[in-house]
Every structure is written in C-alpha cells, then in structure tokens.
C-alpha cells in the first residue's frame, strides 16, 4: 500500500510539474530563451509587494533583484534581456524555483537548513530579529510577560515555530493563534483576541505603520532569533550563483545599499506613504561588511 | 526537477517538544472531523426544518425559509466565516465579548465560529435538498396522511420525511463530503485542522510535496470511508420492491 | 350522516361546485357519477376537507366541516377515504400501512393494532401479504390494502374516489367485491365511480353531477332504465358504448 501510494503520488506530482530536466544552467537557459523570470510576493511590505502597478512589484528585495538582472545582462552581453514576473506565495515559492518556472526569487524568504535541502540561497540580503508587538498600555514588555496569555503569530513563519517551541520548553501555557497572514495577525491583536504579535521586526514595523493609530503600538522584547533573508535560486548552479552573489556584494561594497535601505525603511513608501522608521541594525551592518550565504543557525 | 524527496519526514521531530510531523497530521485530522461532524449534525437539523418550512402552505414561513436560503447560499463562505469570527462577537454584550475573545482558548472560540458558520451555510443547501425531496413525492401521499387524521406535523414526521430522506440520500452524501472539504476554511482563522497542519508542515520542513501528498491521501481515504458509510445507509433503508428509493 | 347545503367552490374563475345540495343517510350507499371535469371528485374531497369550500355548509355526523372551530383531524379520523391511486405509504410494509394511524392518531397499542390489521387483511383477502411492501403488490391488491387502512380507523363513513379507474380490468372485480361486502355490512358509503354494474347492484341511490351541479338523483333501477335529464342520457349512452 505504502509503495503503491508513493509511486502513484510521485507520478501524479511529477507530471503536474513536468518541466524539462534542468541539465543546463540557469544562465544557459536565460541566454537561449532571452528571458529571466523573477519571483516576487504580493504583500511583503516593504520587501517585495504590489502597490500601484499590479504587473510590476516594488520593494527593497526587488531593487536588489534588479541589480542582479543588470549583472546578468552584462555577463551574457544581452542588453535587451526580457524580464518576466511571476507571483509566488509562501507555499509555491520553493517548488516554482525548483521546477524552473522562476529563476530568482527575492522577497522575504528566510534562509534555513530545511530550505537549503531544496534550494540554494544568495548571500544574505537582510537580517531581522523576531520580536513582539503589543499595545503600549498592555504592560507586555518581553516574552516572559506572555505566560498564560493569547499570543498571535503568522502561520508558517519561523516565529510560529519559535513561539511553539518556547511554549513547550518553558511551559508558559500560552494560547498560540496562527493567523493566515500578517494583516490578519494584526487584526487579532487589534481586536483583543491576542495580547501580543510575534513576528520579524521589520514586518512588525510595517504593520504598525499601517495601523489606524500607530502611536498605540510598540515593538518590544528581546529578539528570540535573528533571521537572514536571501534570494532563492536552483541548487547546483555555481555559475548563476556567482553572478547573483557578486551583484549583491557589489551593492554592499559600493555603499549603494545604504541608499536602497533608506529608500524603503527610512522614508515614506507606496502605496500609503508610510514611513517604517526602521534603522539598520548592527547585525545587518555586520552582514553587509562580511556578506555570506549562511543561515542564522549556521553562524 | 531537482526536488529532494524525503518520505521519512513524517517521523522526524518538528523541533517543538517531542512532536513528530505525523502527530500534527493526526491532530489536524481530529479537528477536521470534529468541525465537520458537529456542523453536519446541526446543518441537517436546521436544514430539515427550513426545507419543511419551504413546503408548508401559507406565505410567511416559506418566505422566511426562502430568504434564509438566498442569504446563506449567495454570500461566499469565507465572508461568512469572517463575519462569525470578527464581526458578530463585537456585537455581543461586553462580558460575553471578553469571555469569547480573551478568556476562551483561541482554538475553542475559532472552533465555535467555524462550526456555526459551516452549519448555517450547509443548512441552506440541505434545506434545498429536503424541499426537493418532499416536492418530488406524489401529492397523494400528504392527502392520504391527512385523510386518516394526521396533523401536518405527523404527516411530515411519519409519511413525507421518511420518503423524502430516502430520495435525497445521494445529494446529501455529496453535501456531507463538501462539509469536510469546506472545513478547511477553519485554517484561515487559526484553527489547526488538517489543511493548516499540512501547510505548517510544508513550511517548517520545506518538504512541501510530501506534506500535501499525505494530506491528499488522508482526504481521499476520509471521503471514501464517508461514501461507503452513506452507501451502506442507503442500502439499509432501501424500500423492498422499489428501484433506487421512493418515487 | 352527510349533508351538503348549497355548497360552492371556485378554482380561480372556474365554478367547480355550483350549489350542491345532498344528503346521505346512515347506512346508505350513494354512487356519484358524471362526465370528467363535472366536479364529482372535488365534491367528495370536500367532505373531509381535502378541498376547502368557498360558500355553503357541509355537515358530517353533526359537525360543520367548514367551521374553523371544528377539529379537522378528529373528523377525518372518522371518515375513511380511498383514493384512485391507492396512495399507500411505499416505505412501510402492508401491516405498518394499516397500523400507523391507529397507533399514532388513536394511541392504540402496537399489539392490538397488529391484531386488528391482520383481521382487516383477512377481510380483504390479503393476510398472506402482511409483510410485503406496496411496490411488491398488484394494483388491485394495493387498493384492497388501502381499503383496509381506511377501515382500521373504524370510520363511520367511507368515501371512495374512483377506486377502480387506475386498475387493470382484471383487477377491478376483486376491489368491487370488497366494497360490496363492506356495503352489506352496513357501512355508510359515498362512491365516485363509473362502474355502473356496481351502482346497479349495490347502490341505494345514484347521483348524477354535471358542471358542478347535481342534475339528477334516483334509485339505480330508475336511473339506468329511465334517466330524466338529457345530459344523463347522453352520459349513459357513451358509457355503455365507449367505442362510438
């Protein structure tokens, strides 16, 4: 039974994702097709999202993605290289990179060991800490204050994993709500169903900036982990990885990263003109100084 | 494609306490069944009452039932769920509100919302099946029952409904299966049923295909079992001498 | 036992019952006939209010059936009704078809009801079919069960609405025989039928109805030999030579 099921499902899935076997590298593929396919998100503010033009993403990660496109054009001597966009979700991003639909995904994807089994990451493009947002009046200052309380986090994130692990290990008796996206997590917090919202700090600032009364909320608590975001590309493609990494490193070395950073984190951003006011952390400054493609747990 | 298959993932630690991924699927399946079964029983009861109302003489009761059906069938299920979870509780009395939103375990309050939502949504669909079943019976049946002195209530209870339900077992089976599939909306308000656990496993392990394959197999086996059960019931209540139920 | 006083009924613009006056005495057997669409079925269905009336009065056993204060369920329990299409409950066995209303309406206990049902089935010659289901019976057998079902409530009156017109010819006899036995036992009966042989042999009186009006009523001898009204003459001619 188990074997038949396995064979059957493998066959079904394999045919559903029937992409040509990727014997050639991504650069060859781009060269022969004349197109590079970029994976992007729809609501990872301010990393990769859709604002005014539904056909073209914007964001911090997207700007770095475009730096890579420039580098590919130069490398392949194809100034007229076409760019095609492909929207991905947290569930589809890995398979779409693997099966050749998307050549490069830059959004808010954490580099971790589980994902490294499936895809390769570029050098880190951002570093966040997982922290809490709570009402200023709630008295919640840090994680120990959450004992026996309702706490919300977004389903499928590292924060969810950390929060559940912390709850089990330290027997904190928290009720953990896994909301479907960041917007709904914040709604749970705002409507009083949860006293705190645990998430990547950059995203917490993003939610705070969108709130009706941003002044009511505070991001607080000692970071429970640091997460490094990276761009995803197919495994075992050293030629393409070198182009990607070199393009990002060049941005770091030239200091252009500071301009891009302040454009997305220290200034008003579309569509509502929110200013996240999220200064560059010491951890990320260190990453910019010494770029690498390790996950946070490997460092 | 260069996907890294690992079918042993279900027996590996999730990194949370001593749980393995398989535990998540089992707990998810438990929630799925708990949501679907309870909502189904309620939907069957409410839907039958409404279905009878739609066939009663007079104007007011059928109109009420018709309005109910139009409302609950035409508003998307997701919208209804958000109403029951986010909007309706805000109109409860202060103390009930605090109890529902803060004191109650969040899984329980999400469970209540999703059961109410699915029960009322499915009741509208059951209502239409029951109405069709009753209207498909020969008119002489109610006349025969009334002629021996049955009240309207007794006529439905002893004569019309036992026949109508036999007629509509096949469409009811499909509604029964639907409620299991629809129960996956619970994942959107944070109830960790089967689909939510599948997505969580996919995210945590990055073994996306294995997770969704297992979920597919579980849903498939679940549906096959339910269909077998309904077929058994249909056989058991089949009327001797008649093909395929009362007509 | 039954009395119609100037009864009128309309279906929208159609005047189906146009001033019916009729009395049926206790123990009397009255056959009602008339062309199709004459209103005879509607008339018999008004007796136990399966059809309502718009004007006039109908008294059954001293109760005015059109009076909203009359307990219709109790009244109907005393009036047996046999339908053209039998209308047995297909989901119940023969014996359960018969015992359902005595148990649920009269509160009879199941053992007594079963005993009574078997006795009634013997009377209509179907005791051996007590555990069969309606769909396993012929039309004639179903109609005999339907009569037994009506009798199970121990009615004071039995109404028959074209009881043989949905039957194959070879089955009509067995049903008429049961009805004849019933008439001989002294039951008050009102029978809508085209079976003129039955009318001649069993009826005390024949009522001819046309366009919602009783145009002629007479003992069967007189009615068949010497019908007074022109429509009745025409009706009888057509009935006796159906091929013309």
Domains of chain B, residue spans: 20-236
Instruction: Return per-residue pLDDT of chain B as tens, 247 residues.
Output: 678 889 999 999 888 888 899 999 999 999 999 999 999 999 999 999 999 999 998 999 999 999 999 999 999 999 999 999 989 998 999 999 889 888 888 899 999 999 999 999 999 999 999 999 999 999 999 999 999 999 999 999 999 999 999 999 999 999 999 999 999 999 989 899 999 999 989 988 889 999 999 999 999 999 999 999 999 999 999 998 875 444 3
Dihedral angle over CA of C129, C130, C134, C139, nearest 10? 40
* Over residues C174-184, mean pLDDT: 95
What confidence score (pLDDT) does residue A13 get? 53
Chain A meets chain C (3+ C-beta pairs below 8 A)? no
C68 or B212, higher pLDDT: B212
Name the band, by pLDDT with cuts 50, 70 and 90, for residue A272. confident
With contact defined as beta carbons under 8 Å apart, do A283 and A229 qualify?
no
B159 close contact with C: CB closer than 8 A = yes
Chain B's closest residue to A92, CA to CA, is B208
Residue A207 has pLDDT above 60, yes or no: yes
N- to C-terminal Cα distance for chain A?
Answer: 43
B82 close contact with A: CB closer than 8 A = no
C190 phi and psi angles, rounded to 5 deg: -125, 125
How much is the CA Rg of chain B, to the nearest whole Å?
Answer: 22
| Pairs across B and C, CB distance < 8 A | 78
Contact B202/A91, CB-based, under 8 Å?
yes
B80 close contact with A: CB closer than 8 A = no
* Over residues A25-33, mean pLDDT: 94
A191 close contact with B: CB closer than 8 A = yes
Contact A179/B190, CB-based, under 8 Å?
yes
Contact A156/B213, CB-based, under 8 Å?
no
C74 close contact with B: CB closer than 8 A = yes
What confidence score (pLDDT) does residue A8 get? 52
Chain B CB contacts of A161 under 8 Å are 14-16, 204
- Å between B211 CA and nearest CA of chain A: 11
Of all residues in chain C, what percent carry a pLDDT higher than 70? 98
- DSSP structure class, residue A58: B
> Which of C60, C61, C72, C89 is the best residue to mutate to test the B interface, defined by the most B CB atoms within 10 Å of its own CB?
C89
What confidence score (pLDDT) does residue A20 get? 45
Name the band, by pLDDT with cuts 50, 70 and 90, for residue A23. low
Specify the CATH number of the domain B20-236. 1.10.3720.10
ipTM: 0.89
Structure tokens at B141: 């049946």
What confidence score (pLDDT) does residue A6 get? 53
Residue A10 has pLDDT above 80, yes or no: no
Contact C76/B162, CB-based, under 8 Å?
no
* Over residues A205-219, mean pLDDT: 87
Residue C242 has pLDDT above 80, yes or no: no
B150 close contact with C: CB closer than 8 A = yes
Q: What is the mean pLDDT of chain C?
A: 93
Out of B140, B147, B166, name the one closest to residue C91 (CB): B166
Residue A2 has pLDDT above 70, yes or no: no
What confidence score (pLDDT) does residue B244 get? 47
* Over residues A205-226, mean pLDDT: 89
Residue partners of B163: CB distance under 8 A and separation at least 6: B133, B137, B141, B246, C89, C90, C91
- Å between C45 CA and nearest CA of chain B: 10
Contact B143/C83, CB-based, under 8 Å?
yes
What confidence score (pLDDT) does residue A129 get? 94
């Amino acid at each position: 039974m188990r074997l038949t099921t396995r064979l059957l499902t493998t066959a079904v899935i394999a045919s559903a994702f029937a992409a040509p076997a990727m014997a050639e590298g991504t650069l060859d593929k781009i060269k022969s097709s004349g197109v590079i396919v970029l994976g992007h998100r729809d609501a990872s503010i301010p990393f990769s999202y859709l604002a005014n033009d539904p056909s073209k993403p914007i964001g911090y990660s997207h700007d770095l993605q475009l730096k890579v496109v420039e580098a590919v054009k130069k490398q392949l001597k194809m100034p007229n290289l076409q760019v095609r966009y492909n929207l991905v979700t947290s569930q589809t991003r890995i398979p779409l990179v693997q099966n050749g639909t998307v050549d490069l995904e830059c959004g808010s994807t954490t580099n971790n060991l589980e994902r490294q089994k499936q895809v390769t990451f570029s050098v880190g493009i951002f570093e966040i800490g997982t922290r809490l947002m709570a009402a200023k009046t709630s008295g919640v200052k840090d994680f120990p204050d959450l004992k026996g309380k309702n706490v919300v986090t977004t389903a499928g994130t590292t924060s969810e994993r950390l929060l559940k692990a912390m709850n089990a290990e330290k027997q904190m008796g928290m009720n953990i709500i896994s909301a479907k996206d960041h917007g709904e997590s914040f709604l749970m917090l705002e409507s009083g169903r949860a006293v705190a919202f645990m998430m990547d700090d950059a995203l917490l600032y993003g939610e705070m900036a969108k709130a009706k009364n941003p002044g009511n909320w505070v991001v607080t608590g000692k970071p429970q982990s640091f997460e490094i975001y990276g761009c995803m590309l197919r495994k075992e493609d050293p030629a393409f990885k070198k182009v990607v990494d070199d393009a990002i490193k060049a941005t770091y070395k030239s200091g252009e990263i500071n301009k891009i950073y302040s454009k997305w984190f220290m200034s008003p951003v579309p569509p509502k003109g929110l200013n996240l006011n999220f200064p560059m952390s010491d951890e990320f400054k260190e990453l910019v100084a010494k770029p690498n493609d390790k996950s946070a747990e490997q460092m | 494609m260069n996907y890294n298959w690992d079918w042993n993932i279900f027996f590996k630690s999730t990194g949370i306490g001593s749980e393995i991924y398989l535990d998540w699927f089992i707990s998810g399946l438990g929630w799925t069944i708990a949501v679907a079964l309870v909502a189904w029983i309620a939907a069957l009861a409410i839907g039958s009452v409404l279905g009878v109302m739609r066939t009663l003489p007079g104007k007011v009761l059928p109109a009420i039932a018709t309005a109910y059906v139009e409302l609950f069938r035409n508003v998307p299920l997701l919208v209804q769920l958000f109403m029951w979870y986010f909007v309706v509780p805000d109109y409860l009395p202060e103390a009930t509100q605090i109890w529902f939103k803060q004191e109650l375990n969040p899984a329980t309050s999400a469970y209540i919302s999703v059961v109410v939502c699915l029960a009322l949504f499915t009741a509208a669909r059951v209502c239409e099946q029951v109405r069709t079943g009753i209207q498909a019976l020969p008119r002489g049946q109610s006349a025969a029952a009334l002629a021996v002195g049955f009240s309207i209530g007794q006529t439905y209870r002893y004569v019309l409904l036992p026949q109508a339900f036999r007629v509509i077992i096949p469409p009811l089976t499909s509604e029964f299966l639907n409620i299991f599939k629809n129960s996956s909306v619970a994942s959107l308000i944070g109830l960790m049923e089967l689909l939510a656990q599948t997505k969580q496993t996919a995210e945590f392990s990055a073994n996306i295909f294995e997770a969704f394959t297992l979920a597919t197999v579980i849903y498939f086996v679940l549906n096959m079992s339910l269909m077998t059960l309904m077929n058994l019931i249909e056989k058991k209540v089949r009327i001797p001498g008649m093909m395929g139920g009362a007509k | 036992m039954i009395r119609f006083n100037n009864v009128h009924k309309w279906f929208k613009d159609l005047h189906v019952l146009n001033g019916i006056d009729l009395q049926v005495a206790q123990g009397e057997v009255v056959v009602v006939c008339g062309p199709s669409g004459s209103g005879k079925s509607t008339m018999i269905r008004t007796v136990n209010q399966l059809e309502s009336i718009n004007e006039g009065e109908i008294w059954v056993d001293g109760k005015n059936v059109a009076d909203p204060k009359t307990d219709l369920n109790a009244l109907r329990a005393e009036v047996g009704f046999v339908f053209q299409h039998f209308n047995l409950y297909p989901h119940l066995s023969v014996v359960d078809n018969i015992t359902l209303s005595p148990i649920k309406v009269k509160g009879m206990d199941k053992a007594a009801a079963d005993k009574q049902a078997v006795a009634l089935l013997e009377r209509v010659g179907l005791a051996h079919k007590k555990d069969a289901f309606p769909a396993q019976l012929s039309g004639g057998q179903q109609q005999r069960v339907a009569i037994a079902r009506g009798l199970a409530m121990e009615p004071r009156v039995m109404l028959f609405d074209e009881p043989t017109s949905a039957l194959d010819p070879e089955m009509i006899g067995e049903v008429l025989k049961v009805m004849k036995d019933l008439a001989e036992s002294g039951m008050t009966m009102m029978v809508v039928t085209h079976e003129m042989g039955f009318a001649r042999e069993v009826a005390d009186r024949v009522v001819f109805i046309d366009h919602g009006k009783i145009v002629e009523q007479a003992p069967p001898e007189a009615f068949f030999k010497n019908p007074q009204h022109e429509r009745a003459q025409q009706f009888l001619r057509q009935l006796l030579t159906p091929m013309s």
